[in-house]
Chain A
Amino acid sequence: MAVSKITETRQYLTFKMEEETFALDVGKVREILDYTNITKVPRTPDFMKGVINLRGSVVPVVDMRLKFNMPAQERTVDTCIIVVEITIEDEQTVLGALVDSVQEVFELEPAQVEPAPRIGTKLNTDFILGMGRRDERFVIILDIDRVFSIEELDIAAAMTEATS
């Protein structure tokens, strides 16, 4: 029986996509932006939405729907970009995640978190830290460093896949 990797009480930010609620460690979140102009970089996979100007620095944005193989959706007033700080190859990197809407911040004790089910989710289980219980509903706690690892966002590989 797998045990959850979460052993301490943490705060989580939740966001929604396709009626599914996801959560990520608030410590990783730098800020939340309204939808802004995104510049697409040519010859990149669809989920690499492009780059934005974050107060003078250029930050890449990933479309989470497309990354999780969900159908694309027109943007709404709720569409926003969660700017996260992740560690890639031992370096701090800033990255934007485009999501349908941001919900709330709340605290979860380790007891309220169950390990990720091995089947039953459409998502790659490697991305999931655990399933948190919140008002009789489950939220998927994401391992954001994993989701945005360099292998996952490898443009060259994704492009070869797309063309083959």
Chain B
Amino acid sequence: MKDKHAQVYQQEASELLEELEAALLELKDDSTNKELIGRIFRALHTIKGSGAMFGFDNIVSFTHDIENIYDLIRNNKLKVTDTLTGLTLDACDIIRDMLGGGSPDASIRQALQKQFTQLISGPADGQSGGSSDEDRHEGHETTWRIRFRPRQDIFAAGVNPVLLLAELKDLGPCRITALTDDIPMLEDIDPESCYISWDIVLTTDQGENAIRDVFIFVEDRCDLFLEVIDWPTLADDNSYKKLGEILTERGDIHPNTIQKALGAQKRLGEILTSEGHVTPERIHSALAEQEHVREMRARQSAASAGAATIRVPAERLDTLVDMVGELVTVQSRLSQLAERIIDTDLALVAEEIERLTAVLRDNTMSIRMLPISNTFSKFKRLVYDLSKELGKDVRLITQGGETELDKTVIEKLNDPLVHLIRNSIDHGIEAPDIRAAGGKPRAGMVKLSAEHSGAHVLIKIEDDGAGIDAARVRRRAVEKNLLSPDAVLSETEILSFILAPGFSLSDTVSSVSGRGVGMDVVKKSIDSLGGTIEIASRPGAGSTITLKLPLTLAIIDSLLVKTGDSFFVVPLASVEECVELSRADIEQAHGRHVITVRDEIVPYIPLRKSFAIAGAPPEIEQIIISSVGSERIGIVVDQVVGEHQTVIKNLGKFYRDIQEVSGATILGDGTVALILDVAKLAAKAEAETLVPA
């Protein structure tokens, strides 16, 4: 039993250590940040406190001194220095060692401890200046009541109010109610006038200026009322003002009317509207405010109580996802059945189940989604260590850490990213003196960013180093017989040679990189995730490596198509549109496989021919236009059946060499349909056109 608890402690402590490291590295750049110091202190305190409970006495005594130091810092009695953060990082390693049951060299430990003690006895000076408080609400989650009343002529200024509202939504959770009571009768409507106004309830930590900034260009064409209605200290329980209070506060109604209405024992909103005191929209808007504040308060109290998360073993989640996958398959069977047996009751049930399954699927998938920030913060330590080792000064900037990705994708992403960051620091970033000579800041920069792009996530590793010399890559590729000397290639194509196995530009092998084994491993792992790698470089200015990864690996939305007797699915993410291909179109192209779609010439691949499917094509075929990289390409099929929720199944070892098919799925009737990999299909078709048959 004790072992089990100790295990939990070990796991927790190592997570705390990670957090501690992240905070320490941030502190290096922002040494007066109170919040960071608080975080560090708390992490140390928890490691010590729980360590005592589980008998990790060495950790307790070791952590104790460090904790004292951060307590002093917290009370402004000591200043943060680079030496201190460096020492604390070393201490983290020692604690990690102790956690693993190791007993680190006592002399190192004592030396560290001594250095720490010296820090305490050293001069304690310097009060950090308190930050000025310009925007009282900035940094605290505050709920605002915003009443946006555009003048009728707002459209004349070329303003689309919907865009403003969308911008507001970016600031935080918000509820918008449109007030339509000013819309005149149809015959009186001037289509160029705006008759709608909006009530918005927004919870944000951005402060008043951020909200006003949204409306900055329409200030003189609208009336804008801003009011704080709730902030954290105000909330002692989850109850909020009553409907009547809100309405009177907003000036929508006179208090007397409320008093009178309350006398009648009915729902206040109903009475007020039925008696015509106030329009239903205004009631609706007030109710929305009530609900919003309640929700926000519930969220806050849940967060502060620490009950917002539960730890669940990953296998249980995997089982859940498998089960949902099976459910989705059965559901599509039910839908198909309901379509065949025409029965209203059955159709109703089938539709309801379809809706619920879709919600369940999305929810289950979102459980598996994790923000990539954890992975990112791990790299801070890597960059710190590497730049020390290589005598370079490198700062890591991360962006978009909140971007969520499937758990498995994140796990498999770790190693490739380590490789790429190492490469950037070792090969990309120059030594400080060289940088200074080249007119760049001495400190190099590696930027790690993540962002959503459709059903994909783009992860970029940028550096401001020397960049990759395309000419040198080309020479190497020719030397290694990977490329014929007279081949005409774009720069991107040349750069992608660095992904080839055994390819290295470095003439020397360092402990960090240069063996030419890294990049092909990176490529393999990204391939296995169904992702792609793109390399861009500007000599002297740095390079950017972009990883494009699918959001999830388990279930995707796709388009079900049919050719001959075979069903195929095309991931919806790669589908742009479907167009018809008639015999006349084919004749017009004079035997070339191209069609004009929206004034653009799009090449297409006839699937029937490509996959040698028997039978003659129908009179009118369908082309699925998809985007591959920056190009558009069509896939010709007999028939588009419809959308399909696809549970991805692996085809197994025997089919691993088949590239055009990325997997299989089971259809409603139990047959297996293959999932097309459009990019690979296009690449294959291209390769076959180039080689004369």
Which residues in A have some Cβ–Cβ distance to B below 8 Å?
A: 37, 39-44, 48, 50-53, 56-60, 88-89, 91, 93, 95, 150, 153-156
B590 CB–A CB distance under 8 Å: no
Once the chains bind, are B653 and A88 in contact (CB under 8 Å)?
Answer: yes
Cβ proximity bits B634-673 to A, threshold 8 Å, 1 near / 0 not: 0000000000000001111111011011001010001111
A69 to B653, CA, bound (A): 23
Neighbouring A residues of B674 by C-beta, 8 Å: 39, 41-42
Contacts known (A42-B611, A51-B664); A155 close to B657, Cβ less than 8 A: yes
A39 touches B672 (CB 8 A): yes
Residues on A with C-beta less than 8 A from B612 are 42-43
Q: Known: A56-B666, A57-B649, A89-B653. Is A43-B660 also a contact (CB below 8 A)? A: yes
Given contacts A58-B650, A93-B652, A155-B654, contact A51 B672 (CB under 8 A): yes
Q: Smallest CB–CB gap between B3 and chain A, Å?
A: 31
Could you say which residues of chain A place their CB within 8 Å of the CB of B661?
41-42
Q: Supply 10 A–B pairs (Cβ within 8 Å), ascending by A.
A: A39-B567, A39-B664, A39-B673, A42-B613, A53-B670, A58-B650, A58-B664, A58-B672, A60-B652, A154-B657
Q: A37-B671, A42-B611 are in contact. Are A58 and B566 (CB under 8 A)?
A: no
- In this assembly, does B552 line the interface, its C-beta being within 8 Å of a C-beta of chain A? no
B491 within 8 A of partner (CB) = no
Inter-chain contacts of B653 with A (CB < 8 A): 88-89, 91, 93, 150
Interfacial chain A residues near B658, Cβ < 8 Å = 41-44, 155
Q: Does B326 lie at the interface of the complex (its beta carbon under 8 Å from any beta carbon of A)?
A: yes
Q: What A residues does B567 contact at CB under 8 A?
A: 39
* CB-defined contacts of B566 to chain A, threshold 8 Å: 39-40
With a CB–CB cut-off of 8 A, which chain B residues contact A60? 651-652, 654-655
State how many angstroms separate the Cβ of B324 from the closest Cβ of chain A.
12
Asked if B329 lies at the interface with its beta carbon under 8 angstroms from chain A, I say: yes
**Residues on B with beta carbons closer than 8 Å to the beta carbon of A156:** 657
What is the CB-to-nearest-CB distance from B328 to chain A, in angstroms, rounded to a whole number?
11
Q: Does B117 contact A (CB under 8 A)?
A: no
Given the complex, which residues of B lie within 8 Å of A57, measured CB to CB? 649
Write the chain A residue with the least CB distance to B663. Answer: A58
Pair A58/B666 contact, Cβ less than 8 Å: yes
- Report the bound CA distance from A150 to B329 in whole Å: 30
- B414 within 8 A of partner (CB): no
Closest Cβ of chain A: how far from B323's Cβ, in Å?
11
For B651, give its contact among A40, A58, A91 (CB under 8 Å).
Answer: A58
A64 to nearest B CB, angstroms? Answer: 15
Task: Give chain B's interface secondary structure class.
Answer: mixed
* Chain B residues whose C-beta falls within 8 Å of the C-beta of A150 in the assembled complex: 653-654
8 further contact pairs, Cβ within 8 A, besides A42-B611, A42-B674: A37-B671, A39-B567, A39-B664, A42-B658, A44-B658, A58-B664, A93-B652, A154-B657
- Interface, chain B (partner A; CB < 8 A): 326, 329, 566-567, 610-613, 649-655, 657-658, 660-661, 664, 666, 670-674
**Number of inter-chain CB pairs below 8 Å:** 73
B649 touches A153 (CB 8 A): no
A46 to chain B, nearest CB (A): 11
Task: State the CA gap A58–B649 with chains docked (Å).
Answer: 7
Q: Are A155 and B329 in contact (CB under 8 A)?
A: no
Find chain A residues with CB under 8 A from B673 CB.
39
Determine the chain A residues whose CB is within 8 A of the CB of B655 once the complex forms: 41, 44, 48, 51, 60, 155
Q: How far is the CA of A40 from the CA of B661 in the complex (A)?
A: 11
| C-alpha gap A138/B611 in the complex (Å) | 42
Q: Once the chains bind, are B654 and A43 in contact (CB under 8 Å)?
A: no
Which chain A residue lies CB-closest to B681?
A42
| Closest chain B CB from A136 CB (angstroms) | 38
Q: Is the CB of A39 within 8 A of B671?
A: yes
Residue of B nearest to A91 (CB): B653
- Chain A positions within 8 Å of B650 at CB level: 58
B562 to chain A, nearest CB (A): 12
- Whole-angstrom distance between the Cβ of A66 and the nearest chain B Cβ: 15
A156 to B654, CA, bound (A): 10
A44-B674 Cα distance, complex, nearest whole Å = 13
Q: Given contacts A41-B661, A42-B612, A57-B649, is CB(A48)–CB(B666) below 8 Å?
A: no
**In whole angstroms, how far apart are the Cα atoms of A59 and B651 in the complex?**
8
Shortest CB-to-CB span from A63 to chain B, Å, is 13
Min CB–CB distance A49 → chain B (angstroms)? 11
Pick the residue among A52, A56, A88, A153 that contacts B329 (CB under 8 A).
A56
- Given the interface pairs A41-B661, A42-B660, the reply to whether A48 lies near B654 with Cβ below 8 Å is yes
Tell me, in angstroms, the Cα distance from A51 to B673 when the chains sit together: 9
In the complex the two chains form, what is the Cα distance from A39 to B653 in whole Å? Answer: 17
CA distance A137 to B454 in the complex (A): 65
- Contact status of A56 and B652, CB under 8 A, knowing A41-B674, A51-B672: no
A59 to B650, CA, bound (A): 9
Residues in B neighbouring A44, C-beta threshold 8 A: 655, 658
Chain B residues closer than 8 Å to A89, beta-carbon distance: 653
With both beta carbons as reference points, the residue of chain A lying nearest to B655 in the complex is identified as: A41
User: Contacts A39-B566, A39-B664, A58-B664 given: A153-B654 contact, CB under 8 Å?
Assistant: yes
* Closest residue of A by beta carbon distance from B325: A56
* Complex-state Cα separation, A128 to B650, whole angstroms: 31
For the complex, give the distance between the alpha carbons of A32 and B665 in Å: 22
With both chains docked as a complex, state the minimum distance between the C-beta of B325 and any C-beta of chain A, in angstroms.
8
Cα–Cα distance between A64 and B492 once the two chains are bound (Å): 46
Q: Write the nearest CB–CB distance from A43 to chain B, whole angstroms.
A: 6
Inter-chain CA distance A52–B666, complex, in Å, is: 9
A98 to chain B: closest CB distance in Å? 14
Q: Which residue of A lies closest to B659 (CB)?
A: A43
Bound together, the chains give a CA A58 to CA B674 distance in angstroms of 10
Q: Hey, which chain A residues are within 8 Å of B660, CB to CB?
A: 42-43
- CA A43 – CA B567 in complex, angstroms? 16
Q: Which residues of B have CB within 8 Å of A58? A: 649-652, 664, 666, 672
CB distance from B366 to the nearest CB of A (A): 23
B651, A51: Cβ atoms closer than 8 Å? yes
**What CA separation (Å) do A53 and B329 show in the bound complex?**
12
Give, as a whole number of angstroms, the nearest-CB distance from B330 to chain A: 9
Name the residue on A nearest B657 (C-beta). A156
Bound-state CA distance A150–B465 (Å) is 45
Considering the complex, give the chain A residue whose CB is closest to the CB of B647. Answer: A56
Which residues of A are found within 8 Å of B672, using beta-carbon distances?
37, 39, 50-53, 58
Closest chain A residue to B673, Cβ basis: A39
Q: A43's closest neighbor in chain B, by CB?
A: B658
**Which of A40, A88, A93, A156 has most B Cβ within 10 Å?**
A40
Task: Select from chain B the residue with minimum beta-carbon distance to A39.
Answer: B672
Interface centre among A53, A57, A154 (most CB of B within 10 A): A53
Give A30 Cβ to nearest chain B Cβ, in Å.
Answer: 15
Complex Cα–Cα for A125 and B408 (A): 44
In the complex, A100 Cα to B253 Cα: how many Å? Answer: 85
Kindly list chain A residues whose C-beta atoms are within 8 Å of the C-beta of B670.
37, 53
- Given the known interface contacts A51-B672, A56-B329, the answer about A41 and B651 at a Cβ–Cβ threshold of 8 Å is yes
Q: How far is the CA of A61 from the CA of B355 in the complex (A)?
A: 35
With A and B bound together, what is the CA distance between A153 and B658 in angstroms? Answer: 13
CA distance A150 to B657 in the complex (A): 12
CA distance A110 to B652 in the complex (A): 35
> Contacts of B671 on A, CB cut-off 8 Å?
37, 39, 53
Residue of A56, A88, A91, A156 most packed against chain B (CB within 10 A):
A56
